[in-house]
Structure 1
Amino acid sequence: MKQSKKIAATGNHIKLSGVHIVKQTMKLIVFFGLLLASSYTWAQIGPPRGAGGPTERVELLPGSDSLVITNEGGVEVRRVVNNVRFRHKGAVLHCNLAIHNVASNLIEAYGNVKIVQGDTITVTGDTLYYYGDTRLAIVSGRKAMLKDKKSTLTSRKLVYDMAVGIASYPAPGRTVDKDNVLTSEEGFYNTRTKEFTYYRNVKIVNPKYTLTTDTLFYNSITKWSHFQGKTRIESKDGTLVANKGRYNTETREAIFNTRTSVDNESYTLTGDSLFYDNLKEIGFAKGNVEILAKNDKTLLTGEEGFYRGKEGFSKVYGRALVRSVVQADTLFIRADTLYSYENKVDSTRRLIGNKNIYMFKTDFQGKCDSLVYNTSDSTILFFRNPILWSDNYQLVADSINAYLVNNKINRMLLKSNSFVISEDTLLNQHNQVKGRTIQAYFNSENKLRQVLVDGNGQSVYYAVGEDEKLIGLNRVECGKMNIQFLDNRVKRISFVGRPDGELIPPQKIQPDKRKLEGFNWRINEKPTRAQTIWAEVPPAAEPVSKNELKQGKGAVGAINR
């Protein structure tokens, strides 16, 4: 049988509803006595919960406008209206209307719902289901909100486990702190550790950047964000794209464990793993590293790379390679280590190679142990045992400066112990010029057109008549020489000073007369494109002869590896 009781506060009088006034009055007296004895602890009536002992009951605090109690099947349910307050485990619940199931320790609350937990956490919403036995609060409404001293979390629905301090939202939600606005379709917040976990369409908006990802773990104290899935960080300084890693929203440091790319208006830095400091513009990458300078289309690649953006400095090592694209041709340079220095004022770049350098371009190739390439004037400086090849020419010296015009080799300056060899493919012989300093000039078809020798000049060249018959072998020594070439042959030669030479008839040419001291035609060492880009292993250098060591301290000999 269903019984109902209604209590309404109306001044100093108690108004009762029912058909038997006397019986109801007696019941009211008994009920009021129980009320005073229990100090209004309505929810403390009931058997203990669980094997671990009694469960603390939800306590109704005084001050509400009305209370209606119903009892159906031995289950007591209380309906409390206006100025409603409950207390449980140090938290106070406010609302306009509450339905309290005493047996299950469950509260349904409606209208201006608010939970105040200590002096740090406030939860608000339109409706609430509170399970007292587990201390689980489910708040919903147009704007369900959890607020503490660090963050404000809002959604249409919030689930707050007050026992462990974890709030979550199964519907799209929003978190705001002093620096960030974070949104996602699902999220969790640990109010004790200040850690957030977000899923699906996660987005952080900061005054300095915007971060989007699929899954994010964020600690609002340490400011570190850990994320998985496709991630994008955009700022005025550029864009970072990754799949897995972590990012500090305060220091703007980023650490990534999968293929990651940093892109801005000046360069792109990419690697299989990457550390990047946005404030200092410092980046370090490992595994298939790529550093692309956009203004001159220069690409550095290698196994590891380092970048300091404010200085315009890059370093790549481990199968290091630079590709410099000029017009339709590409210059390839490989080395043990490559350095790049960018002048941001005039957007020029200086590339430096160190150790075991191979260079390939369609019109010339080379090897050395130290190299400097200035992109501003298209000048390449070769040091430490350099050797270059262009068409049918081989050039060796202690140092060589190569000057490009319109992306083609225009001039080379050979300093100290210089040696130029020109192959005559028809005669299967080699014209040779050596001296202290040599300037070699090339025509538009990349063929040697002139050689100027200054100091200790020597030459060996084959004189050929118009009928393509060999006239003889010219051997000349002179301090200065001016030699002009046509189709890989000496066309004209002039001397400054008194030359010392001889023309040897073909039948009297001895093998030792065919070569100048230090001659070594090393065409087998000429780098190919595949060798230069690390796709093939280059051949070993030829052994250095005693004459070569004597001639130029190894500058005209094989590179000692």
Structure 2
Amino acid sequence: AYSNAQIDSDSTIINADTLKNFSFEKKSNASGNVRIKNLSNNVLLTGNYAENFELTNYSNISGNAILIQVENTIDTLFIYSDKMEAFRNEPEYYKATGNVEIIRNDFLSKSGYAYYFRENETVALQDKPVLWQNNSQMTGDSIYAELPGKVLQKIVVNKIPNLTNSLESFLISQSDSINFKERYNQIAGNKIEILFENEKLKNVKVFNNSKSIYFVFDDSGKANGVNRVTGENMNVIFDENEKVIKIIVDKDPVGLYASENNISEITLQLEGFLLREDKPVKK
């Protein structure tokens, strides 16, 4: 055992307060202020205790585990969890377990566990996941996000029917009027596919049991009522300011419009609406 030690290998550098190196097995144990730096991709793992297996390109780190994928001051990815596992063979991926929080610029999430696939830059969240992007919040049984080139392009939110206490897929967006921030546009269904352009909402497709609530404002920002739309499948199209410009329902459409004078006569929240304020912050 070595104190305040460092171990260098072909692929990693390990620093810790205490290190044990088993050279024959190419295995090492580390404890106290552990740092594992991957030399090939700028991924840094930190935590309280770690095991590294050089032959299988596998590491696990626990106790305030943090993954940092350094890109630049804006796009650096942070993943916080109770435990982090690194699988560095192809395809390289990382599994975070327990109280998982992810931060990358305006992309924020919480979940019970998560997978980060480094090569194709995707994130998969499960166990009561919630994801925030700008003024939008997404919840469901599972959430999958694609961020090629460090730019958010697609999010898929799924309901898993056989899952105990399964949740409907939900998208909540704050209204685009500065005078009515308490009004939230809502979309729900079994599956929601969300496409982004310049990391802003561009298109939302909803599959099975689709529902939406959208508040209407005139060009000056004055409130002008609300639209409720339901149907089997739904396609919601946004302009460059993330304002709804068209809703297409391909089967069994039902629409209801309430003017501003009559808005109190209808329910303004879809069943399952839950606004979360507990966004993660950098530690």
| TM more than 0.5 | yes
Q: Does 1:314 align with 2:67?
A: no
Give TM-score, length-normalised by structure 1. Answer: 0.47
Letter in structure 2 aligned against 1:456 = N
Alignment check: 8 A CA contact 2:34 2:48 kept: yes
* 1:420 equivalent in structure 2: 171
Work out the CA distance in 1 between the residues paired with 2:35 and 2:267.
51
* 2:70 equivalent in structure 1: 325
* 1:543 equivalent in structure 2: none
Could you say which structure has the larger radius of gyration?
A: 1
1:373 counterpart (107, 113, 116) = 116
Aligned-pair CA distance for 1:325: 1.9
Q: CA RMSD, aligned part only?
A: 1.4
Q: SS at 2:146's partner residue? A: strand
1:64-463 to 2 correspondence within 5 Å?
255-256=1-2, 258-326=3-71, 329-343=75-89, 346=90, 348-416=91-159, 417-424=168-175, 425-426=177-178, 427-428=180-181, 429-444=183-198, 446-463=199-216
More relative contact order in 1 or in 2 (CA 8 Å, sep 6+)?
2
Letter in structure 1 aligned against 2:152 = I
* 2:162 equivalent in structure 1: none
Aligned-pair CA distance for 1:324: 1.1
Work out the CA distance in 2 between the residues paired with 1:409 and 1:260.
39
Work out the CA distance in 2 between the residues paired with 1:475 and 1:451.
16
Give TM-score, length-normalised by structure 2. Answer: 0.92
Tell me the alpha carbon deviations over residues 306-335 of structure 1, each in whole angstroms, 9 at most, x when there is no partner.
Answer: 111111111011011100123552110111
Tell me the alpha carbon deviations over residues 230-289 of structure 1, each in whole angstroms, 9 at most, x when there is no partner.
Answer: xxxxxxxxxxxxxxxxxxxxxxxxx21x21111223111111001111221101100000
Work out the CA distance in 1 between the residues paired with 2:158 and 2:36.
33
* 2:275 equivalent in structure 1: 521
Tell me the alpha carbon deviations over residues 142-162 of structure 1, each in whole angstroms, 9 at most, x when there is no partner.
Answer: xxxxxxxxxxxxxxxxxxxxx
* 2:234 equivalent in structure 1: 481
Letter in structure 2 aligned against 1:521 = L
Alignment check: 8 A CA contact 2:203 2:238 kept: yes
Alignment check: 8 A CA contact 1:422 1:488 kept: no
Aligned-pair CA distance for 1:511: 7.7
Tell me the alpha carbon deviations over residues 164-209 of structure 1, each in whole angstroms, 9 at most, x when there is no partner.
Answer: xxxxxxxxxxxxxxxxxxxxxxxxxxxxxxxxxxxxxxxxxxxxxx
Alignment check: 8 A CA contact 1:478 1:499 kept: yes
Letter in structure 2 aligned against 1:447 = K
Work out the CA distance in 2 between the residues paired with 1:361 and 1:271.
27
Tell me the alpha carbon deviations over residues 405-448 of structure 1, each in whole angstroms, 9 at most, x when there is no partner.
Answer: 2101110010112100011252211100000000011111x211
Q: Does the C-alpha gap of structure 1 residues 349 and 511 become closer, same or farther in structure 2, counting only changes over 3 Å? A: farther
* 1:165 equivalent in structure 2: none
Question: How many percent identity over aligned positions?
Answer: 28
Letter in structure 2 aligned against 1:400 = I
Work out the CA distance in 2 between the residues paired with 1:276 and 1:510.
69
Deviation beyond 3 Å, 4+ runs, structure 1? none
* 2:163 equivalent in structure 1: none
Tell me the alpha carbon deviations over residues 372-395 of structure 1, each in whole angstroms, 9 at most, x when there is no partner.
Answer: 111011010000000000000000
Alignment check: 8 A CA contact 2:122 2:148 kept: no
Where does structure 1 lack aligned partners over 5 or more consecutive residues?
Answer: 1-254, 534-561
Letter in structure 2 aligned against 1:303 = N
Aligned-pair CA distance for 1:449: 1.3
Letter in structure 1 aligned against 2:28 = G
Aligned-pair CA distance for 1:465: 2.5
* 1:537 equivalent in structure 2: none
Q: SS at 1:406's partner residue? A: helix
Q: Does 1:469 align with 2:222?
A: yes
* 2:164 equivalent in structure 1: none
Alignment check: 8 A CA contact 1:327 1:407 kept: no
Letter in structure 2 aligned against 1:277 = F
Work out the CA distance in 1 between the residues paired with 2:24 and 2:72.
35
Aligned length: 270
Tell me the alpha carbon deviations over residues 478-521 of structure 1, each in whole angstroms, 9 at most, x when there is no partner.
Answer: 11111012323212111111211200111111286211111111
Work out the CA distance in 2 between the residues paired with 1:511 and 1:263.
68
Letter in structure 1 aligned against 2:100 = I
